[in-house]
Structure 1
Amino acid sequence: MPSDKTDLRAARVAETEEKILRAATDLFVRQGYTATTLAQVAEHAHVGARTVYVRFGTKAALLKRAVDVAFAGDTAPVDVGGRPWSVLSRTAPTAAERIAALVSGARQMMERVGDILSVALQAAAVEPELAAAAHAGRLATRENLRLFWTRMASDGLLEPGRDLDWLTDTSTVLIHAETYLLARDMIGWDSVGHAEWLSTTLSRLAGLPR
């Protein structure tokens, strides 16, 4: 069983990480990836520069962690698939409730991650680690959507014979954060407008009345 000292030390480490990530996110969004240094992040977070270097190692690793935490919502070791809204999207009793949970979770993620993800996607052009992370994120989104539709079908919430591959691929493009960024920057949608569109479109894909 962990001691009180161990718990306190872990809490301090987590608090320091959160301070660094808040500072990094602020600077990356305001200044861009290239102009932001780890030394600036340390100063902005009011921690020693060595603390940032030891914890993250590189600027790319720090930005990747900032994006990951923005998607998840906090630094807890629970991936997106294990978050309550995500679980509800696979287990709610009706198709409408599952879509509502999925859209609600997506809206919250877009509100948190939009600006910092935009920075990371630009930086991915020169940082292989970020490019690989972006690709892995796209694949993970697709697999989560595949599980969503597969569960819907197996629970009898879709009409028999629906093409699950097509539903997976189409909804992956619709729900992905990069589509949100495109809609935000090109059309002017905010997260609420995007969520309304997503809810309507996913419901139509599922064959639900609107």
Structure 2
Amino acid sequence: MAARGSRRVGEDEQERTVRARAAVVAAATDRFVAHGYAATSIGQISADSGVPSATVYRLFATKLGILSAAMDVAIAGDADPVPVAQRPVVEAALADETPRGKVAGFVSIMVAINQRISALYWVVFRAADVDEGARDLLHSLDSQRSRGQRQLARALDESGALAPGMSLPEAEDLIHALMSPETFRLLVTQRGWSPDRYADWLTDVLTHQLLG
């Protein structure tokens, strides 16, 4: 009985930790987007989330740690630690039998990600001008995105689908630029395109550029 009770206590503690992390990330995301990174304090995040400051520090150590965790959740759409690149939806897109199907599937994934991260990404982007930690985070996010999007270029290359004369590095560059948060923000946020219109346009452009 003692062992079972101890296990239950451990499970309760783990559940409380998960709920506290989620509350802090949600409150911080709202604060960062509404007021910016520099103007947001851990005290404010603590008050908004209902999680004591000591617990916030224990879970994340720094405000930058909270921002990084918030970006991870926004990218993935949940707090599951499995990287997006290893998730079934990505594997399914890359396994499509047709080159255009691979492109369209990958575009759908990236549009959904850009919808989730757009506002928070620009918090990081603006903070990077004045904060070295945020600058490092922005660089890390860009590298992470590059590695993930490289999967599409390699899948097309390995299947012999790339247009004649199209090198793998050039394909990676095109995908990286056109699927970027910057392009999404320009067309969807600033120019008023719907995400569906953007997805259709992006699929057509990438198909034409990459496949010929």
What is the TM-score when the length of structure 1 is the normalising length? 0.88
User: CA offset at residue 119 of structure 1?
Assistant: 0.8
Could you tell me which amino acid in structure 2 is paired with residue 15 of structure 1?
R
- Which residue, out of 8, 11, 14, partners 2:18? 14
User: CA offset at residue 22 of structure 1?
Assistant: 0.6
Task: Find the counterpart in structure 1 of residue 211 from structure 2.
Answer: 207
Mapped pair 1:51 → 2:55: yes
- Which residue, out of 127, 145, 149, partners 2:149? 145
Q: 1:100 to 1:64 in 2, by over 3 A?
A: same
Task: Find the counterpart in structure 2 of residue 93 from structure 1.
Answer: 97
Matches within 5 A, 1:23-172: 23-159=27-163, 162-172=166-176
User: CA offset at residue 171 of structure 1?
Assistant: 1.2
User: CA offset at residue 18 of structure 1?
Assistant: 0.8
**Inter-partner Cα distance in structure 2 for 1:93 and 1:153:** 14
Could you tell me which amino acid in structure 1 is paired with residue 147 of structure 2?
E
User: CA offset at residue 10 of structure 1?
Assistant: 2.2
Q: 1:95 to 1:6 in 2, by over 3 A?
A: farther
Query: How many residues are paired up?
Result: 207
Q: 1:125 to 1:94 in 2, by over 3 A?
A: same
Could you tell me which amino acid in structure 2 is paired with residue 193 of structure 1?
R
Larger radius of gyration: 2
**Inter-partner Cα distance in structure 2 for 1:14 and 1:101:** 31
**Inter-partner Cα distance in structure 2 for 1:128 and 1:89:** 36
3-state DSSP of counterpart to 1:33:
coil
Identity %: 29
**Inter-partner Cα distance in structure 1 for 2:62 and 2:78:** 21
Structure 2 gaps of 5+ residues are 1-5
The farther-off stretch of 171-180 and 148-157 is: 148-157
Could you tell me which amino acid in structure 1 is paired with residue 39 of structure 2?
A
Structure 1 gaps of 5+ residues are none
